[in-house]
Structure 1
Amino acid sequence: MNTCPALMVSAPASGQGKTSVTAAIARHARNAGRRVRVFKTGPDYLDPMVLERASGHPVYQLDLFMGGLAHCRALLAEAAATSDLILVEGVMGLFDGAPSSADLAEAFGLPVLAVIDASGMAQTFAALALGLQNFRRDRIRLCGVVANRVGSEGHGRMVAEGLPADLPLVAALKRRQDLALPERHLGLVQALEVPGLDAQLDDWARAWGEASQGFAFEPVRFDVEPQAVVPALLAGQRIAVAQDAAFSFIYPANLDCLRALGAEVVTFSPIAGEPLPRCDALWLPGGYPELHAPTLRANAGFFTGLREHLALQKPLLAECGGMLALADTLVDGDGAAHAMAGLMPGSAKLQKRLAALGMQSMAWPEGPLRGHTFHYSTFATPLAAIATAANPNGGKAAEALYQQGSLRASYVHHYFPSNPEAVAAFFLNAET
C-alpha cells in the first residue's frame, strides 16, 4: 500500500475551468520542487497535453470503463510510490456519465475540489456548492471549492457567503481573459501549438499560490494492484507510430502496452517530411489531418510509404484522423477538398456540428476492445463493416470497423490495455 497526497479536481459542468485550475496546482507544486503526477478522468487527448506541460510528466487516463478498476488502481499505486502529489482532473460535471468522476473518486477515496465558474452569480454560488456536497455525501467528500473567474475581491467575498465550515472557499481566482487557452472544434488547441504556454502556466501557478494560501493536500492510501504479466507476443516486432500535430491523439498507456508486449516502438512525423521508417506494422492515430492536409500531400514519400507497406501485407491500424488521411479525398472545415492517400475508398468531410461522441466497445476478430469516439467529420465509403461498436450507455454512437487487406480502420480510438492480446494478434498478422 502506498500513501500520497491526492486530490480530484471536478466541477458541476464542462467549461468551468477544471483544466486551468488543475494545471495551476500542478505547476505551482512542480515549481516548488515537488514531484507531481496528473491523471485525466475519461477519454481525452487535449487536456492531458496541457497538464503534461504543467507537471512535466505524461498524463494517463483513469477510466473505469476503458481500463477497468484494477488497471486504474495499478496506475495510481505506481504514481503514489514515486510522487509527492497526485492530481486527477475530472470529466464533464462531477456526477455526469456512467461511470462518472464521482464514481472514480468513490472507488479510490479521493477528496474532491469543486471548481465553479462564479461569473454571473453571487450568493447562489454557495447553493450550487452545497448541492454538489450533499448529493452523494455518504460516498464522496468535497474538501473545498474554487470560485473561478470572479470579477473582484468583493465578488470573491460574496460567493463565499453561505458556505459551511466543512466546505471552505479554497481560492477565488480572478477572470483573466489574457490567460484563457484557445479552442477549436475538438476542444483546446494542442499544447504544442500554443506559443508562450509555459509562461502562461507559471502565471496560473502564481495566481493559485496567492489565492490558496493555507490549503493542505490530504494523504490518500492506494492499494498496490498485482499486475498480470503481459506476454511478449510482439518481441522482435518494430511498430511505427505517426506522431506530430496531425497525428497526436495517443494514449501513453497504448505505447506502454506495445512495449510491454515486446515491440520496439518508433515514432515519426509525416508533416515534418519524415518518411515511414522501416517497420513490421504501423499505427496511424487520430489528430488533425484536416488542418495539415496540404503538408501531408506535399510529403509524397509518406503516402508512397503507406502504399508500399500495404502492398507487402503489413498490418496498419488507422484511427479516426488516421483513417481520414487514407481516404481518396478530405474536405476540410472551409469546404476545400484535398486529395489524400487514396488507400481506402471513400471521402471524408468536416462539418460544423458534432457527428459522434461516446464510449465504444468493439468486437475485433481477435477479441473485444474498448475505447471511445469523438469527431466532427463524416466518412462515406463503399467498404462493408466487419464489426460495429456498441455504446455501453445506450448512446447513438456506434462506429464501424473496416478491413481491407492488412489495413484496419475505424473512428474508434482504441485503448490497447483493454485487450493487449487482441492488439498483438492484429499487429502480428492482419488477415483479411
Structure 2
Amino acid sequence: MTQTAPGLLISAPSSGTGKTTVMLGLLRALADEGLTVQPFKSGPDYIDPAFHHAAARREAFNIDTWAMHEGLIGGISERADGADIIVAEGSMGLFDGVATRGESGFGSSAETALHMGWPVVLVIDVGGQAQSAAATALGFKTYNPDLPFAGVILNRCASPRHERLARLGMDKAGIDVLGVLPRRGDLTLPERHLGLIQAVEHPDLETAISGYASFLRENVDLAAIKAAARSGPARTGTLPPPPAQRIALARDAAFSFTYPHLLTGWREAGAEILPFSPLADEAPDPTADLVWLPGGYPELHAGRLAAAETYLAGLRKHAETRPVHGECGGYMALGQALIDKDGSRHQMAGLLGLVTSYDKRKFHLGYRQATLNAPMPGFGAGARLRGHEFHYSTILDEPDAPLAQVGDADGNPVPETGSVRGNVTGTFFHLIAEAIA
C-alpha cells in the first residue's frame, strides 16, 4: 500500500492563531461532503490527534521528521490508504524546529510539508492589521522557495471593510485567499497547562466540532482547498513491533497520552491491548505480560490514585514477576509520591523511589534522545530511542539507577534520565521511535 491521496498542511506563523479550530472544522466539513479524510499531525503533539480523530471519524497519526526514521514515516503514510484527501496540522510556527545539524527548522512543519509533498495553507490572524498581513504571508511564501504554498486563510477578521483591506494586500502580493473567518469569541477550545484539554474531557466535543464545520463551510472555499491538495511520493514501511504479547494499558483521564502509531503497530502485529482504568480502581489484567502506564494528568487525580487500592495492589503484584513501564505521568505514578500544585503529598505506587512536585513547578519541553543503560520493555540495553518531554513537574528525589543517558535534540545532557528498579522502568520522555542509523 502507498500514499496516493492528495494532501495539504494547515500551518500558521505562530501558535495561537486558530489553526486547530480551522483544522477541526475543515476535517469535519470535508467528511460531511462524503470524503474519506485522513488526518495527520506534524510533530510530537500528544493531544491534537484525538481531536482530529473525533472530527474526521478516522484515526489520526503523528509524522515527525526529527524523531522518526524513513521506514516508520512510510508505515505511517500507509495509514492514508483508501482516503480521498489528507489534511495535516502543523505545530507551532511553520518554520519552527530544532537546530540539530546546525540547520534551522529541522523537524519543523515546513520540513514535514516538503518531505510529504503537501502544499501549505497558512492561517493568519489579521487582528490589529490589514494590508500588513500580506507582508507576513509573502515572507512565509518566499522564505523557502521549494516549499509548495497554496494560500492563506485570514482569521479573526473584524468587518467587511477589514476584509477588503486585507484582501487588497494579498492581491498585491500575489497570494491566494482561500477563506476569511470573521472574529468570533466562542470559537476556542478549552486549555490547560499542556495546551488543549484532552478530547475525552471536552464537555460537548461533537457540538463544538459541528459548529466549527458550519463556520468553515460558510467562510472558506472548500473547492479551492480540495483543488490545492497534492499527492506526494509513494512510501511504504512498517510500524513499531509490540513490546509484549498481552499489554495491560492504563487508559482514562489520568493516563491517555500514547502515540497512535505505537498502539496501531502493536495491534497489527497481533498484540492484545488490555485497557484498565486506575481512576476506576481497576487492576491490570493478571494475565498480562506487561503493564504500561502512559502519560497524562495524574497530578489532577493524585488523591484518587492514592486511594485506588485494587489498582495499586494489582500493579504491585504484577511488578513482582513481570515488567511495568511508565512514561511521564505514568512514571510519576510509579514513584514514591506526587505533590500536587496545592502542596499536598500523595503516596503513589512506590515501585520506584521517584518523588515529583507540581508545587515547585519547572517547565520541561523538547525532543529527547536516549541510550538505554538497562533493558526496558521492547528494547535491550544500548538501544537508542527518540521521544519528547513536556511537563511542569520538579524532581525532588530520584534514588534509583538511571535507566538511560538522555540528551536534548542537540545531544546536550538532561538530568531526567528515567529510573529502573527490578522489573519496573520509567521515563519522563514519551517514546516515539527507535533511532535507526
TM-score surpassing 0.5? yes
Contact 2:278–2:305 at 8 Å: present in 1 too? yes
| SS across alignment from 1:389 | strand
| SS across alignment from 1:82 | coil
1:301 and 2:302 equivalent?
no
Tell me whether 390-399 or 274-283 shows the greater mean CA deviation.
Answer: 390-399
| SS across alignment from 2:408 | coil
Distance 1:239 1:87 in 2: 31
| SS across alignment from 1:200 | helix
1:87 and 2:87 equivalent?
yes
State the one-letter code of the partner of 1:391. D
| SS across alignment from 1:9 | strand
Distance 1:322 1:233 in 2: 17
Tell me what 2:384 maps to: 368
Distance 1:123 1:117 in 2: 12
Distance 1:396 1:298 in 2: 36
Q: Structure 1 residues 12 and 185, CA, compared in 2 at 3 Å: closer, same or farther?
A: same
Contact 1:253–1:417 at 8 Å: present in 2 too? no
Tell me whether 344-353 or 11-20 shows the greater mean CA deviation.
Answer: 344-353
Deviation (angstroms), 1:284: 0.5
Number of matched pairs: 414
1:406 and 2:423 equivalent?
yes
Distance 1:128 1:71 in 2: 34
Distance 1:288 1:259 in 2: 25
The answer for unaligned runs of 5 or more in structure 2 is 98-105, 375-379
Tell me what 2:355 maps to: 347
Same amino acid, percent of matched pairs: 39
Q: Deviations over 1:279-310 (max 9, x none)?
A: 11111010000111122223211111111111
Contact 1:74–1:224 at 8 Å: present in 2 too? no
Deviation (angstroms), 1:414: 0.6
Q: Deviations over 1:83-129 (max 9, x none)?
A: 11101101111111022111111112110000111212222111101
TM-score computed with the length of structure 2 as normaliser: 0.89
Q: Structure 1 residues 177 and 233, CA, compared in 2 at 3 Å: closer, same or farther?
A: closer
TM-score computed with the length of structure 1 as normaliser: 0.90
Q: Structure 1 residues 13 and 353, CA, compared in 2 at 3 Å: closer, same or farther?
A: farther
Q: How large is the RMSD of aligned CA atoms in angstroms?
A: 2.1
Tell me what 1:425 maps to: none
The answer for unaligned runs of 5 or more in structure 1 is 420-432
Deviation (angstroms), 1:73: 3.1
Contact 1:8–1:110 at 8 Å: present in 2 too? yes
Q: 2:410 aligns with which of 387, 393, 397?
A: 393
Alignment of 1:163-242 (within 5 A): 163-164=170-171, 166-213=174-221, 214-217=223-226, 218-227=228-237, 234=244, 237-242=245-250
Tell me what 2:30 maps to: 29
Q: Deviations over 1:210-242 (max 9, x none)?
A: 1113424234334443435977884xx311110
| SS across alignment from 1:64 | coil
Distance 1:231 1:270 in 2: 26
Alignment of 1:11-410 (within 5 A): 11-79=12-80, 81-97=81-97, 98-137=106-145, 139-164=146-171, 166-213=174-221, 214-217=223-226, 218-227=228-237, 234=244, 237-278=245-286, 279-312=288-321, 314-351=322-359, 354-364=362-372, 365=374, 366=380, 367-379=383-395, 380-393=397-410, 397=414, 399-410=416-427
Deviation (angstroms), 1:262: 3.8
Contact 1:240–1:265 at 8 Å: present in 2 too? yes
